[in-house]
Structure 1
Amino acid sequence: MVPKVWWWILAGVFVVIVAVGAVRIVGSTEPAQSTESAEASAPAGPIIDPAAVGDVERASWTFLVYMIGDTDLEPYALDDIAEMASVGSTDDVNVVALVDRSPDYSTDPAVDLADWEDTVALRVEQDHLEVIGVPGELNMGDPQTLADFVVAATASFPADNYGLVLWDHGAGWPGVGPDETDGYDVLELAEMDEALAVGLEQAGVDKLDLLGFDACLMSTYEVASVMASHADYMVASQELEPGHGWNYEELALLADDPAATAADLGSAFLRGYAEQAEEWGTGADITLSLLDLAQVTGVQDAVAQLAGVYEANPDGLGPTLARAQTDVLEFGRNPDPELATNQIDLGGYVENLAEGGGPEVAAAAAAVTGALDALVMDETAGPATDSASGLSIYFPEIEDYFSQDYAALTDVPAWPSALSAFFESGDRLADEVRARFETGDDATEVVFDDAGVAFTAFLPPASAAALVEATVSAGYRDGDDIVYVAQMPAALTVEADQAAVSAQYDLTFLNLRSGDEEIAVYQDVTTDPETGYRTIDVPLQYVAAGDDEYQDALISIIVDDEGTILEEDFYLVDEESGTYGAMTPDPDARIYPVALVLVDDEEWEYQRTDDDGIPADLPSIEYLLEDLEPGTTLVLDADVQDYGQSADTVSVEVEIP
Structure 2
Amino acid sequence: MAYLCGDNNLEGACIDIMNELEQAGSTDDVEIVVQLDRISDWDSSNGDWTDTRRYHITRDTDSDRTIRSTLISQLGELNMGAEATLTNFVEWSIDNYPAEKYMLILYDHGGGWEGICYDSDPTPNDRLDLIELRSSMQDIRAHMGRNMDVVLMDACLMGMTEVAYALRGTADYLISSEETSVTGDCQYADFANRLRNYPSTTPESISDRIVDQWDLWSEGYGTVSAIRIYYVDNFVVPRADDLANILNVRFADYGQEIRDAWEDTEKFTGNSDYADLRDFAGEINQRITDSEINNRANQLIDLISANYAIVNERHGTNHPDAYGLSVYFPEETIRTQYAYTDFAADTEWDDFLENFINFGTPPDVQITDPFLGEMRNTRLTVGWQGRDVDSQSVTYKIYLSTNGGSSWYYLESVTYQESSSWKQHYEYYYTYSYPESDNCRVRIYAEDDTGLTTSVQSGMFTIDRTSPTVTLTKPQVGRIYINDRELSTATLATSSGLTIIVGSITLKASADDDRSGVDYVEFQAEGLLGNRYLSDDTFPYSCVWSPDMSGLEIGSFTISATAFDRAGNSCTRSLSNVMVFPTTASFVNSPYYSAEAMKEYNDTLNGGSA
TM bucket (normalised to shorter chain) is 0.5 to 0.7
**Is the Cα–Cα contact under 8 Å of residues 171 and 341 in structure 1 kept in the other structure?**
no
Match of 1:344 among 265, 268, 275: 275
Q: Partner residue of 2:125?
A: 184
Shift of 1:315: 2.2
Q: Within 2, Cα distance between the matches of 1:132 and 1:282?
A: 38
1:7-86 equivalent positions in 2, closer than 5 A = 64-86=1-23
Q: Which has the higher contact order (CA 8 A, sep 6+)?
A: 1
- Partner amino acid, structure 2, of 1:123: H
1:207-286 equivalent positions in 2, closer than 5 A = 207-249=147-189, 250-274=191-215, 277=216, 282-286=218-222
Judging changes above 3 Å, is the alpha-carbon distance between structure 1 residues 261 and 242 closer, same or farther for their aligned structure 2 residues? same
* 1:133 partner SS: strand
Structure 1 unaligned regions, length at least 5: 1-63, 334-339, 432-465, 467-642, 647-657
- Give the aligned length: 357
Q: Partner residue of 2:237?
A: 300
State whether structure 2 residue 71 is matched by structure 1 residue 116.
no
**Is the Cα–Cα contact under 8 Å of residues 426 and 644 in structure 1 kept in the other structure?**
no
Q: Partner residue of 1:370?
A: 302
% identity of equivalent residues: 28
- Partner amino acid, structure 2, of 1:146: L
Match of 1:205 among 135, 138, 145: 145
**Is the Cα–Cα contact under 8 Å of residues 334 and 353 in structure 2 kept in the other structure?**
no
Q: Partner residue of 2:335?
A: 403
Shift of 1:387: 2.0
Which one has a bigger Cα radius of gyration? 2
Judging changes above 3 Å, is the alpha-carbon distance between structure 1 residues 103 and 205 closer, same or farther for their aligned structure 2 residues? farther
Q: Deviations along 1:403-430, whole A, 9 cap, x unmatched?
A: 0111221244321232234345554689
Q: Partner residue of 1:521?
A: none
- Partner amino acid, structure 2, of 1:97: V
Q: Deviations along 1:628-657, whole A, 9 cap, x unmatched?
A: xxxxxxxxxxxxxxx9999xxxxxxxxxxx
Q: Deviations along 1:196-220, whole A, 9 cap, x unmatched?
A: 111331x233110001100000001
- Partner amino acid, structure 2, of 1:107: S
- Partner amino acid, structure 2, of 1:390: G
* 2:113 partner SS: coil
Shift of 1:236: 0.2
* 2:318 partner SS: helix
Q: Within 1, Cα distance between the matches of 2:451 and 2:241?
A: 23
- Partner amino acid, structure 2, of 1:225: Y
4+ residue stretches of structure 1 with deviation over 6 A? 643-646
Q: Deviations along 1:124-162, whole A, 9 cap, x unmatched?
A: 110131111211110001111011111111111111111
**Is the Cα–Cα contact under 8 Å of residues 351 and 365 in structure 1 kept in the other structure?**
yes
- Partner amino acid, structure 2, of 1:351: G
State whether structure 2 residue 247 is matched by structure 1 residue 310.
yes
Q: Within 2, Cα distance between the matches of 1:125 and 1:92?
A: 13
Judging changes above 3 Å, is the alpha-carbon distance between structure 1 residues 332 and 160 closer, same or farther for their aligned structure 2 residues? same
Q: Deviations along 1:443-502, whole A, 9 cap, x unmatched?
A: xxxxxxxxxxxxxxxxxxxxxxx9xxxxxxxxxxxxxxxxxxxxxxxxxxxxxxxxxxxx
Q: Partner residue of 1:637?
A: none
Match of 2:353 among 410, 416, 419: 419
Q: Within 2, Cα distance between the matches of 1:71 and 1:409?
A: 26
Shift of 1:367: 0.9
Shift of 1:293: 1.2
Q: Within 2, Cα distance between the matches of 1:230 and 1:135?
A: 27
* 1:289 partner SS: strand
**Is the Cα–Cα contact under 8 Å of residues 354 and 363 in structure 1 kept in the other structure?**
no
* 1:304 partner SS: helix
Q: Partner residue of 1:172?
A: 112
Q: Within 2, Cα distance between the matches of 1:77 and 1:185?
A: 18
Q: Within 1, Cα distance between the matches of 2:141 and 2:261?
A: 40
* 1:380 partner SS: strand
* 1:244 partner SS: coil
1:178-577 equivalent positions in 2, closer than 5 A = 178-182=118-122, 183-201=124-142, 203-249=143-189, 250-274=191-215, 277=216, 282-296=218-232, 297-333=234-270, 340-357=271-288, 358-373=290-305, 374-398=308-332, 401-412=333-344, 413-414=346-347, 415-424=349-358, 426-427=360-361
Bigger Cα displacement from structure 2, 387-396 vs 245-254? 245-254
- Partner amino acid, structure 1, of 2:48: D
Q: Deviations along 1:381-402, whole A, 9 cap, x unmatched?
A: 111122211110111112xx32
Q: Within 2, Cα distance between the matches of 1:95 and 1:349?
A: 40
TM-score by length of 2: 0.56
Q: Within 2, Cα distance between the matches of 1:426 and 1:170?
A: 33
**Is the Cα–Cα contact under 8 Å of residues 174 and 188 in structure 1 kept in the other structure?**
yes
Q: Within 2, Cα distance between the matches of 1:644 and 1:123?
A: 67
TM-score by length of 1: 0.52
